[in-house]
Amino acid sequence: MTRKQLYQLIVKKKSFLCIGLDPDLDRIPKHLLETEDPIFEFNKQIIDATHDLAVAYKPNIAFYESLGSKGWISLEKTINHLKTYGNQLFTIADAKRGDIGNTSKKYAEAFFINLGFDSITVAPYMGEDSIAPFLNYPDKWAIVLALTSNQGAFDFQFTESVYEKNRLFEGVLKAVRKWGTEDNLMFVVGATKAEMLKPIRDIIPHHFLLVPGIGAQGGSLYEVAEFGFNKHVGLLVNSSRGIIYAGQGKDFATKAREEAKKLQMDMADILDHRLPIKT
C-alpha cells in the first residue's frame, strides 16, 4: 500500500486505528477452544466485526510462534483473511526482526513475499545493512523501533551521545531516515510519553508513526494527536488487549467492536473538529 492510499483510507474511515491481533489461548473465549483453529477463528471474528473502524491490523508474531507450526498456519490464515479486504486494510507484521544483511533479506521474503504483509516492525540495533533489505519492495514498509512504550525503553533508548548530545532514539531517527524515504519507512514511537512526539516530529515531520501504548499500556489519544499529527495525519495508533479482550462470551466480537467504535469516534472527532487535516 502506498502512503497516499493509506492517507485516503484514514480520511474515508475517519480512523487512524490499528488493532493488534495478539491472540492467547489462555485469554480467548472458552467456546472457541472447541473449533479446529481457535486462534484463526478468534481473529476472523474480530476482523469481520471491526474492519470498517480500523485502517490497520497488526498480528504480533510471538503469539503465533509460541504455538509452533500450528501457530504459523493460523498466522497464514489470518493474513489471507485480511487480504480478502484488499486495499481497505493496511497490514503490519509486528515481528521486530533484524539481522545481518543476507538474513534480514530472508525475513523480508518471509513477511513480504511468503505471507504478503504490507509492513514489518524492525529493530535498529544492527544498523543499516540489517534494515536495508526491508526497503527494497515497492509499496512495502519497514517500521523501525525508535522509542518503545515499555519500561525497558529507559535502559538504552535514552542513552545520551557524546556527539551532538542526541539520545539514542534520536540518533536512530536521524540515521535511519537517510536509509529510506517517507514512502517506505515508518517509526514506532511509544505513546506513554506523548510529549516526546514533539522533538520526534522536529526530526521526522513527514513520516508515519506507529504508536503503541494506547489502552492497556496507557497513553491519551488526544495528546498523541496533538503532538504527533502532521498534515497528512501521519499516525497509526494501536490498541490490542483493550479491544480484542473486551468480551469473554460468545459476543466477544460485538464487545470488541464497541471498544473499537469508541476509539474510532474519538478519532473522527479529532479529525473533524479539533485537528482538521490540512489538504
Active site residues: 96
Nearest-angstrom CA–CA distance, 174 and 170: 6
Q: Which listed range, 41-49, 142-150, 223-231, 247-255, lies at the site for a copy of itself (CB under 8 A)? A: 142-150
Smallest separation (angstroms) from a copy of itself to the CB of 159: 5
137 touches a copy of itself by CB under 8 A: no
Q: Residue from 9, 10, 53, 131 that binds a copy of itself (CB under 8 A)?
A: 131
Q: What is the 3-state secondary structure (H, E, C) of 136-156?
A: CCCCCEEEEEEECCCCCHHHH
241-242-246 Cα angle (round to 5): 100
Q: What is the 3-state secondary structure (H, E, C) of 104-129?
A: HHHHHHHHHHHCCCCEEEECCCCCHH
Smallest separation (angstroms) from a copy of itself to the CB of 55: 22
Site string for a copy of itself, 199-228 (x = CB under 8 A): ------------------x-----------
CB 235 within 8 A of CB 226: no
Residue count, binding to a copy of itself (CB under 8 A): 62
- Amino acid at position 132, single letter: A
Q: Residue from 149, 238, 239, 264 that binds a copy of itself (CB under 8 A)?
A: 149
CB 21 within 8 A of CB 60: yes
Smallest separation (angstroms) from a copy of itself to the CB of 22: 7
Among the listed residues 7, 19, 3, the one whose alpha carbon sits nearest the alpha carbon of residue 262: 19
Q: Which residues of this protein are in contact with a copy of itself, per CB under 8 A? A: 22, 24, 60, 62-63, 65-69, 71-73, 76, 94, 96-101, 103-104, 106-107, 109-111, 113-115, 123-131, 145, 148-157, 159-163, 165, 168, 171-172, 175, 217
